[in-house]
Amino acid sequence: MKYFLRIAAVTTFLAVAVYGMQAQKKGAKPAPSKSSNPQYIISASQNGKSLGDITIELFPDAAPKHCANFDSLVSIGFYDHTAFHRVIPGFMIQGGDPNSRGGNPDTWGYGDPSLKRVPAEFSKTLSHTRGIISAARSNDPNSATSQFFICVADPTFLDGQYSIFGKVLSGMEVADKIAAAPRGANDRPNDKIEMIVKRVTLAGAKSKQPVNTKNPAKKK
């Protein structure tokens, strides 16, 4: 089953409207964090050329299961060479599907059915605003696995439907660049944009999220 953001015609219209209202904020960056929450660097590249780095912070207090899942996947190099396979200017960029490492691009976004499913952790206090990271899923609210999306505008209509588990600390200009990439069918970039994700070790800081070195892709 394909993992996606459910975008009907009216939702697409809302996303475009949001983009118009947020265009003046395009260069804005979320405020730096001084917390001890786990941080990661997403390095993006296209055709062998670096597009830059996106530094993110997770919210283990708000979505502990999603953060644990993401950290476990990063620890085994799961996201490396997967793609941002769906990009929509004024809305979001989505990636993290293992199918996108290679093979038929038409399968990108469908995910691996053997991956661990993460139950929904909808927040009552966090909102889908520019720089927020949230979990992609199918029609089942409890179907999130590895795929995630980064908001490049303020699609607050997603609140209460998708699990927010982090935010961008720096590098939103890179996310904007990815969102603006020429694209074709299914909003897939014409040229693959791939990522490498590494965990940042913070000197003197202890993460609230332990690293799980087991491969969550295998069901027990």
Given this model, what pLDDT does residue 125 score?
97
| Structural domain for 87, as ranges | 9-200
User: For position 54, which CATH number holds?
Assistant: 2.40.100.10
**Do 59 and 167 form a contact (C-beta atoms < 8 A)?**
yes
| Predicted structure pTM score | 0.81
User: Could you tell me which of 79, 39, 77 has the C-alpha nearest to residue 59?
Assistant: 39
- Whole-angstrom Cα distance, residue 82 to residue 190? 15
The torsion angles phi and psi of 111, rounded to 5 degrees, stand at 70, 180
Instruction: Establish if 46 belongs to a structural domain.
Output: yes
Instruction: Establish if 110 belongs to a structural domain.
Output: yes
Name the 3-class secondary structure at 74: helix
Mind listing the pLDDT tens digit for each residue in 34-45? Answer: 678 999 999 999
Given this model, what pLDDT does residue 27 score?
41
Mind listing the pLDDT tens digit for each residue in 116-166? Answer: 999 999 999 999 999 999 999 999 999 999 999 999 999 999 999 999 999
Please count the structural domains in the chain.
Answer: 1
Mind listing the pLDDT tens digit for each residue in 155-207? Answer: 999 999 999 999 999 999 999 999 999 999 899 999 999 999 999 965 434 44
Instruction: Establish if 214 belongs to a structural domain.
Output: no
Instruction: Establish if 219 belongs to a structural domain.
Output: no
